[in-house]
Amino acid sequence: MSMIRDLRAAVRPALRKTSAPYHSYDATRDPSASSAVVDCAVYRDGHRLESRGGCPSPREAMLKVREGGGFAWIGLHEPTEEEFAGIAAEFGLHPLAVEDAVHAHQRPKLERYDDTLFTVFKTIHYVEHAELTATSEVVETGEVMCFTGRDFVITVRHGGKGSLRALRHGLQKDAELLSKGPSAVLHAIADHVVDGYIGVAAAVQDDIDEVEIDVFSAPAKGRQRGSDAGRIYQLKREVLEFKRAVSPLLRPMQLLSERPMRLIDPDIQKYFRDVADHLARVQEEVIGFDELLNSILQANLAQATVAQNEDMRKITSWAAIIAVPTAVCGVYGMNFEHMPELKWEYGYPAVLTAIAGICFAIHRTLKRNGWL
């Protein structure tokens, strides 16, 4: 009996450890519910259906859609794998797309998985700064992933900026557009992201203009020409990050505007053309920024080289002037008894006068030629 009691005492802690995870999976709990959900709603005929007790869970939203039509829009912010697993299972999302949505740091793209479109957008936010320095952060990036189905839209946002709350509220005021279904939401997100690009491009243009003026104007007191290379290089890095967000998105927008897709309403497809045009314009501006910064950087380096050459010319000029008294004094410093004018009463002031005259002539000649 004592052996049995000892065995039970040894097994009981192990049972406690294994039982806790088992009881954490409640059969009555909605697996699609997640703390990462920032908003969830059902839209029917362009209007949001009110739900008792606040926002419904994703499963409840889909039940309403399957019963009465419309579509569900679920918004999430930086979900973990565990938080997104229930929603992915509920809507039948492809594992590869789910992995991209959870881990983020994806390239802008458009992919189709069965009856679901998966779109990745890079959001850009301009970082305000009092003065552009060699370490200033100019743009801050985030991501918005969008799963678009026949009767649902799931948006996954990464990053502290780029909230879609204002976008959702604005869409809810346009019932005619929202009645077009999930493709209207996809277009609104794309348009919102590209409009953000336009604003950031204008702000970056101001920074480039500021650097350009500093490079080609007279340097401020205490600053040397060519000292702006760090600022230019930092701004070029930020523009490169901007370019990585804009350029890959152009092809997906062209596909959405040109190629017929079952999940995209034909009336909404026309709106994607406008988004693609705006994006193409921003891409041209960003490419222009990159080329302009290359030219400014080369000009800045050229100015630094010119400044160094000017310094070397000044040093050489003064060395030439100093060489005259050095040579004369070196000659008269030799210990010879018979030297010209050595015992002449006015020899010393005459030599000093000759040295001063020669140095003055050399100085005027070099200054006239721009060396001094």
Closest CA to 36 of 87, 88, 79: 79
Question: Rg of the chain over CA atoms, in angstroms?
Answer: 37
Query: What torsion, rounded to 10 degrees, do the Cα atoms 208, 213, 216, 222 define?
Result: -110
The mean pLDDT of the chain is: 83
Tell me the per-residue pLDDT of 3-37, one tens digit each, with 9 for 90 and over. Answer: 334 434 443 443 333 333 322 323 334 555 567 88
Burial of 239 (0-12, 13-18, 19+ CB in 10 A): buried
**pLDDT score recorded for residue 28:** 39
Q: What 8-state DSSP symbol labels residue 221?
A: T
142, 200 Cβ separation under 8 angstroms: no
Please, what's the b/e burial string for 146-160 (b: 16 or more CB within 10 A of its CB; e: otherwise)? Answer: bbbbebbbbbbbbbe
**pLDDT score recorded for residue 220:** 59
- Tokens 């505007």, residue located: 257
- Tokens 């039948």, residue located: 92
Please, what's the b/e burial string for 39-78 (b: 16 or more CB within 10 A of its CB; e: otherwise)? Answer: ebbbbeebebbeeeeebbbbbbbbebbeeeebbbbbbbbb
> Is residue 182 pLDDT above 90, yes or no?
yes
Break the chain down into helix, strand, coil percent, rounded to 5: 60, 15, 25
Q: What is the domain class of 310-368 according to CATH?
A: mainly alpha
What would be the CATH architecture of the domain defined by 28-305? 2-Layer Sandwich (3.30)
121, 244 Cβ separation under 8 angstroms: no
211, 228 Cβ separation under 8 angstroms: yes
**pLDDT score recorded for residue 1:** 38
Domain boundaries, the chain: 28-305, 310-368
Amino acid at 119: T
Closest CA to 149 of 37, 266, 23, 262: 262
> Is residue 143 pLDDT above 80, yes or no?
yes
- Tokens 């243009």, residue located: 205
In angstroms, the CA 113 to CA 288 distance is 36
Average pLDDT over residues 328-342: 72
Predicted confidence band of residue 50 (pLDDT cuts 50, 70, 90): confident
Secondary structure element (H or E) that encloses residue 232, with its range: helix 229-246
Amino acid at 238: E
pTM as predicted? 0.75
